[in-house]
Structure 1
Amino acid sequence: MQTVRHSEHTLKTALISKNPALVSQYEKLDAGEKRLMEEAFRPDSDLFGPITLHSQSDWITSHPEAPQDFEEFFNDPYRKTPSPQKHSIYIQCIGLLGNTRSISEEYVKWLKGYCEAFFYGLTVKLLEPVPVSATRCSFRINDNTQNLQIHAGVGIFSFARYGSDFYSSHYEGKLKKLQKKSSSDYSVFDNYYVPEVTSVLLLRSCKTLTHEIGHIFGLRHCQWLACLMQGSNHLEEADQRPLDLCPICLRKLQSAIGFHLKDRYKALVRWVDAESTDTPTVTPERSREDPLSLPKPVEAFKEWREWITKCLAVLQK
């Protein structure tokens, strides 16, 4: 295990910059916001800490990248900045999550609510779900495992990856080996993977969704502190990644969208608290029996909620 620890001077420069205009911009933040962001410089902070590498297969070791400080982010001509005309995030669901439409719709609504809180101040809209066939995407069936590979060579987000037994033999050979499908036959996707809707799956989905949308706003992989925007090569590394942003990436997102930190954190707490449940899982079978009762499983978010409470305490001192 290895720790990536930067000096106070390096972190200050990455967060505040030496550019007088950006320093002036930082100084205009209210006292509570600066107090929270400057937790990044405290070696004994219990809110923000250094990056921990657990193996040589972790992202930073495997994919060397130049770090992006706030000044570089701010000067990036290609980053997306919301405007009065363009201030919406669209979520498109491709295929169903589970074997009922009600499960899929409710789950995506949870993600929509989370996204609205995380990117506080922006509108999040759900597009009508479409079947995989509507994408006309290319796919192939692996000759050895008989598993599906969609858009080979292109990174996509699939719920299947987050199943606890995804890498076991349980799913190996899901398709019959004698089954031959053409590149235009999308029936292979029908009920191919029906994951159990758990709190851990929801937490992983929220992480992935906000990480990828963060890239759209111009945030590159973080190499300063433990942060949602760190890259991940495998599920274990993704799980070790925090659910929220470090101060440097938080300032980037705040600069792009224009929210107040206190308002954003309160919105995230409201999302956790709204219609929450201690029920550990929501299965497709249960939903068919009681389709109107699909409580949001947030047990996995409890520790993070406590962390937000600490952040709010710093902001409100």
Structure 2
Amino acid sequence: MGISASSPARRYKTLIGDLEEDISSVEHKMYSLSQYVLDQNSDMLGKHRPELDMCIIDTWSAKNVHEEDNGSKKNDRADEKFILFQLMISEKPYFCSQTFTQWNTIYKFDQWWTPCCKKGTKIYIQPVESFPQFLTDFEIDLKHLGGSHDFFALLKRLLEAYFDGMTIDILPNVNFHDSKWKIKARFHHKTNSKQYHVTDFFPKLRSVKPADGYCILGLSWTDLYPTEKLNFVLGEAHFAFKSAIFCFGRCEPKIYDPETFKDIDEMDAKLLWRIIKVVSHETCHLFGLMHCWYFRCNMNESCSMAEAASQPLFLCPVCLRKLQHACGFDLINRYRRILVILQDIVSVFPSQEIEQSIQWLEKCLKFLLTDKL
């Protein structure tokens, strides 16, 4: 007799894919954590592991965000021990969020439909219009990666580590007047800041993507808006066009106060963290990843800059499985590459978020490289 569609084995394979293929013990250890999505009552859930000095999986709910915003202590257990992954509590069935099988169906069809013999292995970064002088003059010393880097070289290094297996190239800046790009613009009624219509960028970016590119990511200093009725968007990606656009969000109308507002005039840890978070999130969309409702994850949906900045930099096991399938990276090598870059960055730009990300990487590597579960 075959396995029924509702059996645990079938549901797990739908969620995370077939782990019977030739994968390493480290990968199996990471992806097997997805089982907690299907079994929230596991005896292992929420249990502290003294030998690892952390809790592998614990639970998290949306009420924590509200409590955190009000300044209250959101999770006593989180203060007591390090938690590697936090399982989202939801009444929705697991398949209502994007499973590996759902993602892989879309991804395979896209590869078949792409009218080229070989899938591009490059991610192109396309600067759009002008950037302030403090950004063009920016330099940071990455001691472990060859010394001084300008802003776009830093971004290239970060994305090469995050999307290990892909090559990142920077294209020359696009000027709308010279290139004759027709991008709709407006001035926001509240802030009086210029904004570009986000969806106008997708076909334009695709048209300048070189043939060897898998996708292209536009970067704009000017704010973006999605529709006439909506105020602002940090960034947006279009999987079919393989293009995305991201702005630095100088002025989010939701938090705009004309009495206290001051435009960004220097690179600091807060701005750099916001850039890292949003660029990595939007680029993941270009690989077909949708918003995640399984764990706290870089692919969680956000409705504000503050919410996006509060979310983890790293992917949960379900989303990581998708990205690894697309890029073909080794988990340990990828985490080590990201760790080196973040350590160099935090030595110049001290940041609680980056420090927490470094701690997460160190704990995750310890978990993966320790024989005991």
Q: Specify if TM > 0.5.
A: yes
Distance 2:269 2:55 in 1: 25
SS in 1 for 2:137: helix
Structure 1 window deviating more from structure 2 (71-80 vs 247-256): it is 71-80
Equivalent in 174, 182, 206 of residue 136 of structure 1: 182
- Structure 1 position 24 matched with structure 2 position 20: yes
| Separation in structure 2 between the aligned mates of residue 131 and residue 237 of structure 1, nearest angstrom | 32
Give the paired residue count. Answer: 262
Distance 1:11 1:234 in 2: 34
Structure 1, unmatched stretches of 5+, are 1-7, 175-192, 281-296
3-state SS of the aligned residue for 1:92?
A: strand
Alpha-carbon distance between aligned partners in 2 of 1:162 and 1:254, rounded to the nearest angstrom: 35
Structure 1 Cα separation of the partners of residues 56 and 121 of structure 2 = 30
Q: Give the equivalent residue in structure 2 for 1:263.
A: 333
Cα deviations by residue, 1:52-80 (Å, 9 ceiling, x for unpaired)? 3135xxxx99xxx9311111111114556
Matched residue, 1:102: 137
Deviation at 1:109, TM superposition (A): 1.7
Deviation at 1:309, TM superposition (A): 1.0
**Letter aligned with residue 99 of structure 1:** Q
Q: CA deviation at 1:125?
A: 0.4
Q: Cα offset for 1:130?
A: 2.7
Deviation of 1:279 (Å): 4.5
Structure 1 residues 95 and 170, CA gap change in structure 2 (3 angstroms): farther
Match of 1:74 in 2: 104
Matched residue, 1:189: none
CA contact (8 A) 1:47 1:311 kept: no
- Which secondary structure does the structure 2 equivalent of 1:301 belong to? helix
Query: 1:115 corresponds to which letter in structure 2?
Result: L
- Same amino acid, percent of matched pairs: 26
CA contact (8 A) 1:114 1:271 kept: yes
Larger relative contact order (Cα-Cα within 8 Å, sequence gap ≥ 6): 1
Correspondence for 1:111: 155
For the residues of structure 1 that align with 2:192 and 2:291, how far apart are their CA atoms?
A: 33
Q: Say whether the 8 Å CA contact 1:70–1:252 is kept in structure 2.
A: yes
Contact 2:292/2:301 (8 A) holds in 1 = yes
Cα distance in 1 for partners of 2:185, 2:97 equals: 34
Conserved? CA contact 1:51–1:224, under 8 Å:
no
Which stretch shifts more, 207-216 or 144-153?
A: 144-153
Instruction: State the partner residue of 1:46.
Output: 55
Kindly tell me: are residues 11 and 263 of structure 1, through their superposed partners in 2, closer, same or farther at Cα, counting changes over 3 Å? farther
Which of 138, 150, 158 does residue 247 from structure 2 map onto? 158
Give the conservation status (yes or no) of the 8 Å contact 1:222–1:229.
yes
- In structure 1, the residue matched to 2:361 is 308
Give the CA RMSD over aligned residues. Answer: 3.6
The alpha-carbon deviation at position 169 of structure 1 amounts to 1.2
- How much has 1:244 moved relative to structure 2? 0.5
More strand by share: 2
CA distance in structure 2 between the partners assigned to 1:14 and 1:310 by the alignment: 28
Partner of 2:29: 35
Q: Give the corresponding residue for 1:212.
A: 282
In the TM superposition, residue 235 of structure 1 has moved relative to its aligned partner by 2.1
1:93 equivalent to 2:127? Answer yes
SS at match of 2:171: strand
Secondary structure of the corresponding residue to residue 24 of structure 1: coil
CA contact (8 A) 1:119 1:257 kept: yes
Q: Give secondary structure in 2 for the equivalent of 1:160.
A: coil
Code of the residue aligned with 1:124 in structure 2: it is: I
User: Structure 1 counterpart of 2:137, which letter?
Assistant: S
AA in 1 matched with 2:194: L
Taking structure 2 as the reference length, the TM-score comes to: 0.60
Shift of 1:49: 4.6
